[in-house]
Chains A and B, each alone.
Chain A
Amino acid sequence: MTRLVQPLAISALAAALLCTAAGNGRARVAAGPGVSASAAADSSALGPGDAPPAPTAADSLTAPFRIVFFEPEPSGAPDAESRPAIQIGARRDHTRWDRRDPWSVEPASFLRYNRVEGIGLSVLFDRGLDRKTYQPAYRAGIGYAFAPQRGQFILGMEQPLTQRAKLTLGAMAYRRFLTFFYGDEIIDTGENSASALFLHRDYRDWYEADGVRGWIGFHTSPYLTITAGVTSREERSLRVASNWSLFRQTTPFRTNPKAAEGNYRAYDATLTYDSRPRSDRSHWGSVEHFHRLRWERAEKSLSGDFDLWRLVADSRVYLRLSPAQSLAVRALVGTGGAREGRLPSQRRFFLGGIGTLRGHGFRSLEGDHAVLTNIQYEFDVSGSSRALVVLDTGTAFDGRDLGALFEQKIAVDLGAGLRLGENGVQFLLSRSINRRNADVNLTVRFQDTF
């Protein structure tokens, strides 16, 4: 009870003090939200001459909760084109400094299941960058994949070198099971684990990486990060080590594609602009962006086994068109080349199926170059349900020059579906519209496609 009484007493005292300030015959605006005792419960709106009656402590739980959109000074009022004076609650700067990109590997889940690890267990401790101090960010974790009986680890840190962590230096060592191209973007670990465990479908392809990485980071704003790094690691193929699931037990898992093995030594540069709040999409602003441009170059002159380059641009824009409509657009362009011919399989581009071309078969298109666009329009239909309309276009192909792009047949998929709840399950029917007799794919998802 003490824990309850104390905050109540404090809020009653605060309410009384604020009331005194407010009770001067004019509607006064408090400096922040939650000044709950500053107006009477029965007043419909405060206007000139409406002096709020002085509330008592007992009123504090029934008095209106106050949300301040704009400060009373004219300078804080909403100009038609400028940003509002007060940023939304989700835009706390510190949330933007927990950048994942410099680490280049997705942090492992505590518990997961897939066809190369079987059951995987990990324990991970980490801390993001704090722009107010020089404290280093760190990540330390160990894990174990039971089916191949293989241990995993990650140990790294990123040290701010300047104020507000605008310039950082980082290093890490790791042994991890990584996904082929875009495997961690089309489906997250939890949903892939659920799919493998219940439906005997693992949508990721895997290889093992064991090595070190160092980088320098420029965090020029909470949204923009530029990193340049060097990597040296052994890359190895993984085979299917587990073949059970709770349902569809007679259907085997897909074969895990063979990765090109060897010592991968490369340098890379990545530019990331990410304005997306970490909150749910229904809380986002009118326009949010995610743009990432990544270039990597592996050379045998670095004493590695690979000689290749790759450039990937991933650009996404999220729009809230109206209270009941939203639009999300993604454009993905990837290109690369290798001295030996094609890019190694773990770096080739695969399109088709969930997360990319949803009317096509899973990973039915592949090549050293890829172009993909996704447009997803959503609108409210009933309660918290939303209708989805999607248009996916793209292709993947091999070729030595960009001229090959214009010789490609661009796949076009159209889909429609329903989402139940704000972040609930999605049902999507999609079909290729430029292939005759194409199948209609039904996709059930528990996360947004992008």
Chain B
Amino acid sequence: MNLRRSRSGVWTAALLGLVLGSPVAALEIEVRAPDTGPAASTGDTLVARFTVAGTMDGSEGSALGEGIPATLTLVVDLWRVRSGWWDSLVHTQTLAYRFRRDLLDGRYRVLDPEGRAVGFPDPDALERYLARPHEIVLGPAAGFPAERRYYLTVKAIVRPLRLDDLEEIDAWLNGEVTAGRGGGGILGLPKTLAALMVDLSGLGDRSSVGRSAVFVPNP
């Protein structure tokens, strides 16, 4: 949508300011590099760890707390440090937790990254579950190139369920396989219109990035 000059620009700038100025609770991510010293000498597996806190916002009456279906996406990246050039992305892996409040029994239901359903009595319990440690198995230290430096980043994104997610959950509830599905059906309506409404309603996503210290797996 191309808005040329003048009044259109004014209200767009106002909207931009409104959105940018909105207070948003931050996600707290702590990423701890693996202990490389003893592991490197014995050839054991390197394991890093991270935690993500603040997913449920914590503010009273927040949309997520009231049960708006949402997704917590965790993008875990392993980067190799390169001098004088951009760092190299060695590996990336994505996890997704989908959660919502079941209006029938008031419990919070979570679909974990492996598709298992878990229930919690209140948002605090759900927050504790989502904030539990995650371990990243990096393999044996000896398998890494000698003296190369690495670090890990974890990007956490919390956002209300998109229609794509709803399609998947719809299929999951009906026992369908989603591979290769295209448009059509009641959820095939233009997703941009729904995304637009989500953005304008203040239910947009929150994200944050955590980064570990640089480590040398195979010194």
Contacts and interface: CB of A to CB of B under 8 A. Distances in A.
Contacts of A51: none
B92 interface: yes
B58 interface: no
Contact of A45 (B34, B78, B180): B34
Interface residues of B, number: 95
B54 interface: no
A72 B143 CA distance: 9
A86 B35 CA distance: 22
B94 interface: yes
A447 B139 contact: no
A65 B113 contact: yes
Nearest to A353: B2
Interface string A421-450: 111110100000000000111111111000
Interface string A405-428: 000000000000010111111010
Interface string A173-194: 0000000000000001111011
Contacts of B68: none
Nearest to A428: B2
B139 A79 contact: no
B157 A282 contact: yes
Q: How large is the interface on A (under 10, 10 to 19, 20 to 34, 35 or more residues)?
A: 35 or more
B207 to A, nearest CB: 4
Given A39-B135, A440-B5, A45 B193 contact: no
Contact of A67 (B76, B88, B142, B196): B76
Contacts of A45: 32, 34-35, 46-49
Contacts of B4: 439, 441-442
Interface in A105-134: 107-112, 122-130
Contacts of B34: 45
Contacts of A443: 1-3
A69 B94 contact: no
A348 interface: no
A76 interface: yes
A47 B2 contact: no
Contacts of B48: 45
A155 interface: no
Given A126-B182, A322-B87, A421-B159, A29 B137 contact: yes
A380 interface: yes
Nearest to A197: B193
Contacts of B190: 109-112, 189-191, 193-194
Contact of B132 (A64, A107, A424): A64
Contacts of B133: 41, 64-65
B32 A44 contact: yes
A109 B188 contact: yes
Given A70-B138, A282-B157, A46 B113 contact: no
Contacts of B139: 29, 69-72, 76-78, 85
Contact of B145 (A79, A193, A384, A442): A79
Nearest to A45: B35
B192 A41 contact: no
A137 B206 contact: no
B1 A199 contact: yes
Interface stretch (A4-12, A220-228, A267-275, A366-374): A4-12
A389 to B, nearest CB: 16
A351 interface: no
A47 B39 contact: yes
A257 to B, nearest CB: 18
A61 interface: yes
Given A107-B182, A323-B153, A441-B2, A384 B207 contact: yes
Interface of B: 1-5, 8-9, 12, 16, 19-20, 24, 26, 32, 34-35, 38-39, 42, 44-49, 73, 75-80, 86-95, 105, 109, 112-114, 116-119, 128-129, 132-140, 142-145, 148, 153, 155, 157, 159, 179-186, 188-193, 195-196, 199, 204-209, 211
12 contacts: A27-B44, A45-B32, A45-B46, A67-B134, A77-B140, A88-B94, A122-B184, A280-B73, A320-B89, A354-B1, A422-B157, A427-B12
Given A98-B179, A201-B1, A422-B159, 18 more contacts: A27-B45, A29-B139, A39-B135, A47-B35, A67-B93, A74-B140, A88-B91, A94-B180, A109-B188, A124-B183, A128-B182, A189-B190, A283-B75, A286-B88, A323-B209, A385-B20, A421-B205, A444-B12
